[in-house]
């Protein structure tokens, strides 16, 4: 604050000082009344100062005027009044100018006119205040008012006119630079003017000078037209001072009146007019110059824009002849200005587009002021076709243009990109539609399938559940999403124990990346529902792999309640049937056996025979029931396999022994083509026994008396093979394909032997295949048959890996 | 009937069977073979007779009213004496794996399907089982 204040007051006092000095100088020219002078420079200084530095410097004017007047034998109050008057005068002028938006550069006619008017007005007011103060203080009398006023007013006006413009000019950078450009000329002109003026005013008789006084005008105009405000205002001041002094000395053109103030007035008038003309001319020239400057710079800018843009501009006449092109034409079309001007635009248009362009052009020419935009192909100078986008406007009627103006730029790349974009977009749309369809299908699938589907992320958190799963598990996706599946849903085993997280299928799929299923094997698992119920399920879980990384897991699970019910029903049926059928059979068996033993009394031969027939028939029935049960169990899939390490030679021996009676009766020759030492194989004992029994009993049955049956057993690393060879009736060639069919009996044996239900081989084949083995035969009618059964081996080594209880069972069974 | 005077006491067999004819033939055959026989018509009766008579072996049918053979065996095996008594299941139900495992886990026990064996074979099995058990 301090600094600003000091600054301010410094300026104020500086102004006051300058004002005072100028005042003193002006007062020295006072001739009539010591306080009223002919030229009052301070007014000019005050106005200039306030215009240039602001009206807040007014106190400076007041102080300056007051101090000066205080020292010119005036009463204190008068000095104050005059001080106020001078300050007010300056303020008024400046305020009016400001309102008028006066430009201190003083370069326009409007500024000059405003200045002339407002300074005149302000000075009239100022003179009035001054005169009034003098009258009031008694320094003048009423009769002197007129003259005092005029002198005072004229003095202030001249002061304003000659001094203010001078300051404004020298403060304007433009005017200053104008002076600097024409330093020599300005000085020369000013000097010449002053010399001429002095010559006219001082060295010529008044009548001559009166006529030639207009000779100063050429110099003034020279300054105004060529040399700017600085010179003009200087010239004005020069003329003003010289004229005033001359008139005061009663020389020069203005000496007509005995009253010197009258002469002065005429002189002032002359100077006023001359200066005014000078200033106005200078302003006029200035305005023109500024206008030209602006035009030039605008032109430069436009030119630069046009030449450096990618757009070309061409002017064509109403027939399409090219009148003018801009520089970019070379880049876009390869033609230089000279090469293309005069040619017709239609020469350059692609044939296919020509008709369209023609029609559009015709329309445009018929509609002045309108414009249209087209994309056309034009031929480049080098021969290739480029796509250009053109905007043509009809300026034919515009006198400035007289042409159709065409703006154009190369859009070849853009078109290509657009085409590519379009095709990509179409492809994308197609792909999106396809994906959306697939997704919709997938979702529809998942929503509609009856099995439950759950998906988890890498961390095992549930991210999706289909409606079936929600319903089966009594869970809501919305509430459960994001939770770890193993915590959200518990899995129980058959005994109701919780299955640990690491043993759960979904966890194994996640960690090991394998597909795990609980369908295989007879273990049943339950999902523990939120409402406490247990849902028996079979689960298949698989990892979700993307780019070789496991990103999550999915599981599909099935409610097997019904399946289990069906299974149970099947098993129950089978067991019930077997029990109900077999009970009476075994009763008949045992009673007949007991009778035949003879311990309950003897029978005669015939009675024995009949009993034996009963027994034999019953046996057949037992066999048939057994076979039927086997078949139905095979069909129903309720054939459990109880794997144990078995010794095949032992089984074969047992079977042969069991058939010993028939063998003896038929006097058959049995060849045991195997060693008792044979690796133990992991098989289901009863099922394998059934196989062996079926094959050997068939051989026995279908070989005539005294025939040979060979039973062989071989093995290699991977499988064991059983061979049953006989010299029996054989199988007719035409029936080879039916051998393993249910109820098939060779046509050649049916008559010979009515015993047999035709199920044996069917069962054997099914059993063999369920063990992972295979069966085949070779036969020739009336010569014999060879049956071969191969089963895969699990050797002793593998047996060691069996869980403990299985080994126990094996030992148990071997007792 | 042949009476065999043996150095040891006669072995007692408990036959639990709901089919009357079955029961008769089994009893007669065993008696003929020199065994003492007690009978029961169902699992409940069988259990009671078992504790009462303390047989050396039990021939046990599976499908019976009131209490089936499997249940009777389970209950019997809880008893300290019952734990050790040999049991031969005589049934016409085809044994499935679960049953076989159960039988195996509750030694000493065997499982025979009636229609697969002659009566003599059954009696033989009893003899063999008892002999082995002694060992």
Do the Cβ atoms of B25 and A591 come within 8 Å? yes
Chain B: give the shortest CA distance to residue A521, in Å.
12
> Please, which pLDDT band fits residue A520 given cuts at 50, 70 and 90?
low
Do the Cβ atoms of A625 and B104 come within 8 Å? no
Question: How does pLDDT run across A565-616, given as a tens digit for each residue?
Answer: 887 787 777 777 777 888 898 899 889 888 888 778 888 888 888 888 898 8
Is the per-residue pLDDT at A179 higher than 70?
A: yes
Contact predicate B109/A584, CB 8 Å: no
Question: How does pLDDT run across A294-307, given as a tens digit for each residue?
Answer: 899 888 888 887 77
Q: Which residue has the tokens 């300054």?
A: A223
Chain A: give the shortest CA distance to residue B84, in Å.
16
pLDDT of residue A777: 92
Partnered with residue A789 across adjacent β-strands are A722, A775
Using CB atoms within 10 A of its CB, is residue A675 exposed (0-12), middle (13-18) or buried (19+)? exposed
For residues A712 and A787, what is the distance between their CA atoms, to the nearest angstrom?
A: 10
For residues A703 and A707, what is the distance between their CA atoms, to the nearest angstrom?
A: 6
Question: How does pLDDT run across A368-396, given as a tens digit for each residue?
Answer: 888 899 888 888 888 888 888 999 999 88
pLDDT of residue A798: 41
DSSP state of A499: P
User: Residue A780 half-sphere exposure, CB side, CA atoms within 13 Å?
Assistant: 2
Chain A: give the shortest CA distance to residue B22, in Å.
6
What is the rounded average pLDDT of the residues A604-632? 85
Q: What pTM was computed for the model?
A: 0.41
Sheet holding A371-379, edge to edge: A322-325, A312-316, A403-410, A385-395, A371-379
Question: How does pLDDT run across A261-286, given as a tens digit for each residue?
Answer: 788 888 888 899 999 999 999 889 88
Contacts of A571 in chain B (CB under 8 A): 96
Contact predicate A264/A40, CB 8 Å: no
Of A586, A599, A812, the CB nearest to B92: A586
Task: Name residues whose C-beta falls within 8 Å of residue A467's C-beta, 6 or more positions apart in sequence.
Answer: A447
Contacts of A494 in chain B (CB under 8 A): none
pLDDT of residue A33: 52
Q: Please tell me whether the peptide bond between B108 and the residue prior to it is cis, using omega within 30 degrees of 0.
A: yes
Interface of B with A (CB under 8 A): 19, 21-22, 25-26, 28-29, 32, 63, 91-94, 96-97, 100-101, 104-105, 107, 113-115, 118-120, 132
pLDDT over 70, % of chain A: 93
Interchain contact A586–B (C-beta under 8 A):
yes
Chain B: give the shortest CA distance to residue A575, in Å.
6
For residues A295 and A307, what is the distance between their CA atoms, to the nearest angstrom?
A: 18
pLDDT of residue A813: 38
Question: How does pLDDT run across A143-158, given as a tens digit for each residue?
Answer: 878 888 888 888 889 8
Using CB atoms within 10 A of its CB, is residue B108 exposed (0-12), middle (13-18) or buried (19+)? middle
| The pair of three-digit structure tokens given for residue A301, joined into one six-digit string | 């800018």
Q: How many residues does chain A have?
A: 815
Contact predicate A692/A791, CB 8 Å: no
Contacts of B19 in chain A (CB under 8 A): 583, 587
| The pair of three-digit structure tokens given for residue B97, joined into one six-digit string | 């794996």
What is the rounded average pLDDT of the residues A187-194? 89
Contact predicate A707/A667, CB 8 Å: no
Question: How does pLDDT run across A472-508, given as a tens digit for each residue?
Answer: 988 888 888 888 988 888 998 888 888 888 888 888 8
Q: What is the mean pLDDT of chain B?
A: 82
pLDDT of residue B68: 85
Q: What is the mean pLDDT of chain A?
A: 84
Three-state secondary structure readout of A658-708: HCHHHHHHHCCEEEEECCCCCCCEEEEHHHHHHHHHHHHHHHHHCCCCCCE
Q: Which one of A524, A570, A578, A583 would you mutate to disrupt binding with B, by most B Cβ within 10 Å of its Cβ?
A: A583
Question: How does pLDDT run across A771-808, given as a tens digit for each residue?
Answer: 788 999 999 988 899 999 998 876 444 433 322 223 33
For residues A703 and A666, what is the distance between their CA atoms, to the nearest angstrom?
A: 9
pLDDT of residue A569: 81
Q: How many residues does chain B have?
A: 135
Contact predicate A135/A206, CB 8 Å: no
Q: Which one of A586, A595, A654 would you mutate to disrupt binding with B, by most B Cβ within 10 Å of its Cβ?
A: A586
Question: How does pLDDT run across B39-80, given as a tens digit for each residue?
Answer: 999 989 999 999 999 999 999 988 888 888 888 888 888 888
pLDDT of residue A441: 81
Contact predicate A675/A705, CB 8 Å: no
C-alpha A807: how far from its chain's center? 68
For residues A782 and A729, what is the distance between their CA atoms, to the nearest angstrom?
A: 4
Of A582, A591, A809, the CB nearest to B115: A582
pLDDT of residue A727: 92
Q: Is B52 left (phi over 0), alpha (psi -120 to 50) or beta?
A: alpha
C-alpha A473: how far from its chain's center? 41
What is the rounded average pLDDT of the residues A751-776? 80
Q: Which residue has the tokens 């190369």?
A: A410
Q: Where are the alpha helices (DSSP H) in A100-205?
A: 109-136, 145-171, 173-181, 183-203
Interchain contact A590–B (C-beta under 8 A):
yes
ipTM: 0.84
Do the Cβ atoms of B118 and A640 come within 8 Å? no
> Please, which pLDDT band fits residue A661 given cuts at 50, 70 and 90?
confident
Do the Cβ atoms of B118 and A589 come within 8 Å? yes
Of B91, B113, B119, the CB nearest to A590: B119
What are the helix and strand counts (H, E) for chain A? 29, 19
Is the per-residue pLDDT at B36 higher than 90?
A: yes
| The pair of three-digit structure tokens given for residue A400, joined into one six-digit string | 């400035």
* Count of pairs with CB atoms under 8 A, one residue in A, one in B: 72
pLDDT of residue A31: 56
Contacts of A812 in chain B (CB under 8 A): 104, 107
Contacts of B104 in chain A (CB under 8 A): 805, 808-809, 812
Reduce the DSSP state of residue A542 to 3 states and report it: strand
Is the per-residue pLDDT at A469 higher than 50?
A: yes
Q: Which residue has the tokens 């002053």?
A: A194
Structure-model confidence comparison of residues A670 and A689, the more confident one: A670
DSSP string, A308-347: HSS-EEEEE-TT-BEEEE-TTHHHHH---HHHHTTSBGGG
For residues A126 and A146, what is the distance between their CA atoms, to the nearest angstrom?
A: 14
What is the rounded average pLDDT of the residues A129-150? 83
CA gyration radius, chain A: 66
> Please, which pLDDT band fits residue A449 given cuts at 50, 70 and 90?
confident
Q: Which residue of A has its CA nearest to B22?
A: A587
Do the Cβ atoms of A574 and B120 come within 8 Å? no
Q: Is A667 left (phi over 0), alpha (psi -120 to 50) or beta?
A: left
pLDDT of residue A810: 35
For residues A40 and A25, what is the distance between their CA atoms, to the nearest angstrom?
A: 9
Task: Name residues whose C-beta falls within 8 Å of residue B112's C-beta, 6 or more positions apart in sequence.
Answer: B88, B89, B90, B91, B122, B125
C-alpha B94: how far from its chain's center? 17
Q: Is A637 left (phi over 0), alpha (psi -120 to 50) or beta?
A: left
For residues A93 and A98, what is the distance between their CA atoms, to the nearest angstrom?
A: 9
pLDDT of residue A766: 84
Nearest to A503 by CA among A473, A511, A464: A511
Q: Is A71 left (phi over 0), alpha (psi -120 to 50) or beta?
A: alpha
Reduce the DSSP state of residue A794 to 3 states and report it: coil
pLDDT of residue A454: 92
Is the per-residue pLDDT at A357 higher than 50?
A: yes
Chain B: give the shortest CA distance to residue A472, in Å.
29
Is the per-residue pLDDT at B100 higher than 80?
A: no
User: Residue A731 half-sphere exposure, CB side, CA atoms within 13 Å?
Assistant: 23
Task: Name residues whose C-beta falls within 8 Å of residue A682's C-beta, 6 or more positions apart in sequence.
Answer: A643, A644, A645, A646, A793, A794, A798, A799
Do the Cβ atoms of B105 and A522 come within 8 Å? no
CA gyration radius, chain B: 14
For residues A278 and A813, what is the distance between their CA atoms, to the nearest angstrom?
A: 143
Lowest mean pLDDT among A180-184, A363-367, A710-714, B34-38: A180-184
Of B19, B92, B120, the CB nearest to A578: B92
């Amino acid at each position: 604050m301090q600094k600003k204040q000091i600054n301010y007051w410094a300026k104020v006092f500086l102004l006051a000082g300058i004002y005072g000095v100028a005042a003193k100088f002006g007062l020295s020219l006072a001739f009539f009344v010591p306080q009223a002078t002919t030229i009052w420079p301070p007014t000019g200084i005050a106005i200039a100062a306030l215009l240039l530095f602001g009206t807040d410097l007014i106190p400076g004017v007041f102080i300056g005027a007051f101090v000066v007047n205080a020292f010119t034998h005036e009463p204190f109050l008068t000095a104050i009044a005059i001080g106020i008057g001078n300050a007010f005068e300056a303020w008024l002028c400046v305020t009016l100018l400001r309102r008028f938006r006066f430009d201190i550069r003083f370069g326009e006619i409007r500024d000059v006119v405003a200045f002339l008017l407002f300074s005149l007005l302000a000075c009239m007011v100022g003179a009035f205040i001054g005169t009034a103060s003098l009258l009031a203080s008694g320094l003048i009398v009423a009769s002197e008012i007129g003259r005092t006023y005029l002198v005072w007013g004229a003095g202030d006006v001249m002061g304003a006119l000659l001094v203010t413009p001078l300051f404004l000019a020298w403060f304007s950078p433009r005017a200053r630079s104008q002076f600097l450009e024409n330093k020599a000329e300005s000085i020369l002109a000013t000097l010449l003017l002053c010399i001429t003026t002095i010559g006219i005013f001082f060295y010529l008789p008044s009548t001559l000078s009166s006529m030639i006084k207009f000779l100063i005008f050429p110099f003034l105009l020279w300054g105004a037209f060529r040399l700017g405000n600085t010179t003009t205002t200087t010239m004005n001041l020069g003329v003003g001072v010289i004229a005033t002094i001359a008139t005061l000395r009663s020389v020069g053109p203005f000496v007509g009146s005995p009253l010197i103030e009258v002469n002065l007035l005429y002189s002032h008038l002359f100077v006023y007019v001359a200066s005014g003309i000078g200033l106005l001319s200078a302003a006029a020239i200035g305005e023109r110059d500024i206008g030209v400057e602006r035009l030039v710079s605008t032109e430069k800018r436009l030119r630069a824009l046009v030449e450096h843009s990618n757009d070309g501009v061409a002017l064509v006449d109403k027939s399409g002849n090219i009148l003018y092109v801009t520089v970019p034409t070379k880049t876009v079309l390869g033609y230089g200005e000279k090469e293309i001007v005069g040619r017709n635009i239609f020469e350059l248009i692609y044939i296919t587009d020509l008709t369209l362009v023609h029609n559009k052009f015709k329309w445009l020419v018929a509609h002045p002021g309108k414009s249209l935009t087209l994309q056309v192909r034009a031929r480049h100078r080098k021969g290739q076709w480029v796509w250009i986008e053109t905007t043509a406007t009809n300026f034919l009627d515009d006198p400035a243009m007289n042409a159709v103006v065409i703006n154009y730029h190369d859009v070849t790349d853009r078109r290509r990109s657009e085409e590519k974009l379009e095709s990509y977009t179409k492809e994308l749309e197609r792909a999106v539609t396809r994906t959306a369809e697939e997704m919709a299908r997938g979702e529809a699938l998942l929503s509609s399938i009856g099995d439950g589907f759950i998906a988890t992320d890498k961390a095992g958190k549930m991210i999706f559940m289909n409606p079936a799963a929600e319903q089966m598990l009594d869970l809501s996706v919305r509430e459960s999403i994001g939770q770890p599946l193993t915590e959200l849903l518990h899995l129980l085993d058959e005994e109701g124990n919780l299955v640990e997280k690491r043993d759960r299928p979904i966890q194994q799929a996640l960690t090991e990346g394998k597909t795990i299923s609980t369908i295989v094997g007879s273990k049943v698992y339950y999902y523990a529902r939120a409402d406490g119920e247990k849902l028996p399920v079979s689960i298949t879980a698989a990892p979700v792999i993307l780019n070789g990384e496991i990103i999550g897991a999915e599981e599909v699970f099935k409610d097997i309640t019904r399946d289990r019910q069906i299974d149970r029903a099947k098993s129950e049926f089978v067991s019930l049937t077997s029990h109900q059928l077999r009970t009476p059979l075994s009763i008949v068996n045992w009673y007949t056996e007991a009778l035949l033993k003879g311990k309950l009394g003897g029978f005669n031969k015939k009675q024995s025979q009949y009993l034996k027939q009963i027994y034999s028939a019953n046996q057949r029935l037992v066999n048939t029931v057994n076979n039927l049960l086997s078949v139905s169990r095979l069909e129903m899939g309720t054939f459990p396999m109880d794997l144990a390490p078995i010794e095949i030679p032992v089984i074969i021996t047992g079977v042969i022994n069991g058939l010993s009676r028939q063998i003896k009766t038929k006097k058959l020759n049995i060849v045991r083509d195997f060693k008792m030492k044979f690796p133990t194989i992991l098989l289901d004992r009863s099922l394998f026994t059934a196989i062996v029994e079926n094959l050997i009993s068939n051989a026995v049955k279908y070989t005539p008396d005294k025939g040979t049956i060979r039973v062989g057993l071989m093995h290699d690393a991977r499988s064991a093979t059983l061979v049953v060879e006989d010299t029996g009736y054989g199988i007719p060639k035409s029936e080879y394909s039916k051998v393993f069919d249910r109820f098939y009996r060779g046509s050649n044996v049916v008559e010979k032997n009515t015993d047999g239900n035709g199920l044996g081989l069917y069962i054997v084949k099914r059993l063999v295949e369920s063990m992972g083995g295979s069966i085949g035969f070779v036969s020739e009618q009336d010569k014999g048959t060879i049956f071969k059964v191969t089963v895969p081996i699990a050797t002793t080594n593998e047996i060691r890996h069996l869980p403990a209880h299985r080994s126990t069972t094996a030992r148990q069974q071997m007792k | 009937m042949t009476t065999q005077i043996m150095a040891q006491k006669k072995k007692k067999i408990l036959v639990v069977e709901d089919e009357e004819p079955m029961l008769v033939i089994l009893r007669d055959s065993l008696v003929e073979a020199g065994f003492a026989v007690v009978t029961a018509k169902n699992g409940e009766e069988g259990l009671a007779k078992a504790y009462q008579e303390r047989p050396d072996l039990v021939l046990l049918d599976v499908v019976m009213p009131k209490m089936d053979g499997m249940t009777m065996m389970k209950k019997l095996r809880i008893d300290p004496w019952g734990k050790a008594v040999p049991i031969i299941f005589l049934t016409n139900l085809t044994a499935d794996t679960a049953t076989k495992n159960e039988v195996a886990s509750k030694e000493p026990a065997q499982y025979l399907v009636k229609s697969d064996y002659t009566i003599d074979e059954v009696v033989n099995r009893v003899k063999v089982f008892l002999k082995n058990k002694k060992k």
